[in-house]
Amino acid sequence: MNYKNLFPYFDLNPNDIYFDSAATTLKPKVVLDAEYEYNVKIGANSHNNLFKNAYIANQVLEEARRTCAKFINENNSEQIIFTSGTTHSLNQIVSGLKKHFKENDEVVLTELEHSSNLLPWKVLEKENKINLKYFNLNDNGSINIDKLKNSLSTKTKLVSFASNSNTMGTFNDIQKISKIIKAFNNEIIIIVDCAQSVSHHKIDVKQWNVDFIAFSAHKMYGPFGLGVLWGKKNLLELLEPIFYGGGNNSLISHNEFRLAKLPMRLEAGTLNLSAIYGFKTAIEFIENLTYLKINEHLQNLKNYFIDNLDEIEINKFNFYNLNNNEPIILFNLKNVNAQDFGSFLNKKYNILVRVGKHCARLSNEFLKEESTIRISFGIYNTIEDIKKLIIALKDADSWIEEIL
């Protein structure tokens, strides 16, 4: 099925082949309409029941919270915290737990983490709050299950990793990893960055038995500027808020102050209510399509590309973990600057790709590459898009003529 007609972007950009969904997905009309509807029909702020539209704003907020809770298999919607994005969510966890770390506590990550799940921990390490360690990885970038325990010790306080890599496209077996870690020490806190998988993989916090997850609306056909932080209630209550202000307090006097209960405790200030309304619609959009159909569509695109690789001179390219079963293709044209070839694809073929380090700088060390080209699919991509990509790769030798 061709889903492109659901996305107004292509009405104004009909010739574009958008292959940057791992950075941000485009928004379907129903999501854009929801945001517009909130601003035009409701418009009010929440946390006030004195007039009709403010009361409706509260209803919108809490209904979206309940929808999100159900979406990730959580019964208690108070454990859904709205943030500005995954970066905010992860920083809230790191900053919020800071005072609970003791000297020489260990935090274990992977070398493929996005900067949002790496740099906050590096800062904590620099402040001598923790020691960072890294999981052993398989050649495809996934966490090595057999060697997982080698990275754990009696000093391990917390582990944090992405559900799947935004470069290698590797999907980690979260449930199995969690089971091994919790068997080693049930007190180890497990954080999962789900930003790269939420658009096409189901999140199940009960089945996974992890302690925190984070993801962004704009990675799952939703609005910009909105993220989700979920955590087990006892751990959320441990977090010191990053921000203090309106909405997250229940008492302020000259002598004392008292923070509000969850979720408001971690939601200081005015929330992005039009985005929250659009986010609820994005969840419904995914649920109506079903993850089964989304994955089937994305896998068909990936399989078509792999099945037709013999049409290009494959020896001219380096592909990295191509058979990753995820809607990501990471590659380079040998001996050609990635930026130059990315510009060629854009200028000559209207193919929009991501070039660079992909906000995961240590992954370049893992790959032993300075920069790479990333193609990532969304539900709106078609077999026709893949055919045009293959044509462009067949024409790789003409890259220099286009950029000079």
Q: Which residues form the catalytic set?
A: 359
**Buried-exposed string 237-268: b where 16+ CB fall within 10 A, e elsewhere:** eebebeeeeebbbeeeeeeeeebbebbbbbbb
Token pair recorded at residue 394: 């067949």
In single-letter form, the type of residue at position 402 comes to E
**CA distance linking residue 325 with residue 170, whole number of Å:** 8
Rounded to whole angstroms, what are the CA distances from 366 to 84, 320, 341, 391? 30, 11, 22, 30
189: left (phi over 0), alpha (psi -120 to 50) or beta: beta
Q: Are 338 and 3 in contact (CB under 8 A)?
A: no
Residue 118 neighbours by CB under 8 Å, 6+ apart:
109, 360, 361, 362
In sequence order, what are the beta bridge partners of 162? 193
In sequence order, what are the beta bridge partners of 106? 131, 156
In sequence order, what are the beta bridge partners of 372? 356
Angle at 22 between CA 18 and CA 23, to 5 degrees: 85
**CA distance linking residue 33 with residue 277, whole number of Å:** 10
